[in-house]
Amino acid sequence: MKVRSLAHQTLNRIFTSKEYSNITINNVLSNNELNDKDKRLYTQIVYGVLKNKILLDHYLKPYLKGKSLKDWMRHLLEMSIYQMIFLDRIPKYAILNDAVEVAKKIDFNSSKLINAVLRNFDTENLNEPLKEEIRYSIDEWLFKQIKGQYKEEYMDILDSFNKNPKASARVNSLKTQRYKLLNDRIHESKVTNTGIIFDSGNISHTNAYKKGLVTIQDEASQLVARMLNPKKTDRVLDVCAAPGGKTTHIAEIMKNQGQILANDIHAHKIELIKQNATRLELTNIEYSNHDGTKLRKIYTREYFDKILIDAPCSGWGVIGRKPELKYNQNEKKVEEIRKIQSDLLESNAPLLKVDGFLVYSTCTINKGENEVQIRKFLEENNNFTLEKERMILPHENHTDGFYIAKLKKVTR
């Protein structure tokens, strides 16, 4: 019962408190003694519900007519029928009994409703044709956006959201070489020459991680610092630096020389960058805790050789890692984010030297935050040109979805 109780608590935290699934799940696994079998079941249940919530609610609907549910009750029912449908190796009575026991500890009277719904639930009634947005368990607005923008590839993209993400890391080139870390369960990335893929296990628990030989980072994300291509003598600004994956990659490319200013609006996240830099033994990073749109009030014009704006975004490219993002998207939120992105570009452009480079990146596949955003900036700033542009879709190499654009400042 402990595993299912932990899974239920986790789902409540993610859906009610809006916590990030990957962080919450890692914290739970780190703070509870579970054997490997129980860890697998726990993660299967939590991610299974997160990836299939709309589908599960659709299957539950006929059994809830006239019944009022609190959020915790719905989450308990969702995780229970997920097991009945997708984990059919587990006997129904075991799923039902644990669900009732979990409910009793929260509200004894509610356990009767949980028991009645699950006893009546029949997996034989699940063969009706489904709308695509229900089958892929995705918010209708977001479904229309992705289908409209990627008419030929949308099904591949949606399929990729429900696949388990790869456990990838970046090799610290200052301390080791990639081939030295490869073995039967660690393989080289085909996407980037700094990447390795772990078949299993928690990367942060490995000796390679503890010794600062690797950093946890998706393969697509590793392409950003490479496109910036900083030199050892450069002065580099990372506008939205936390948690520091790209900052530390820039430092490694620069051979721990030059100067990097790692800025972030959140003070507690600056500490994460510092911790990463210390573990990796990087010393050419300075830290700044300011609103990224206000930096031109602090630094003089044309102060930096290179600027990275890894902008806040809707996150459509990382839904495979954070499936809860499928359920909280809307046009208003995206427009608010686009305004922040535009402000970051406009306010930091004057800080770049002539002949310097600015890289803009996001972990979304929404064209409005990517290609459209860059075209708008170039129309309004004819002293910049587009040097390179790349969209990495999540299904292409089973990575996160990423957009990267490299701009050159050609005149004042």
Catalytic residues: 363
Q: In what order do the strands lie in the sheet with 384-392?
A: 285-288, 259-263, 235-238, 304-310, 352-362, 402-409, 384-392
Helices (H), 17-123: 21-31, 36-60, 71-86, 92-106, 110-120
d(CA 288, CA 202): 31
d(CA 307, CA 367): 22
d(CA 97, CA 403): 47
Note whether 261 and 232 are within 8 A (CB).
no
Sign of the torsion angle spanned by Cα atoms 51, 20, 193, 367: positive
d(CA 174, CA 132): 47
d(CA 126, CA 107): 30
Two tokens at 396? 């292409």
d(CA 181, CA 214): 9
Helices (H) and strands (E) in the chain, counts: 15, 11
- Residue 232 sits at φ, ψ, to 5 deg, of -65, -20
Kind of pairing, strands 304-310 and 235-238? parallel
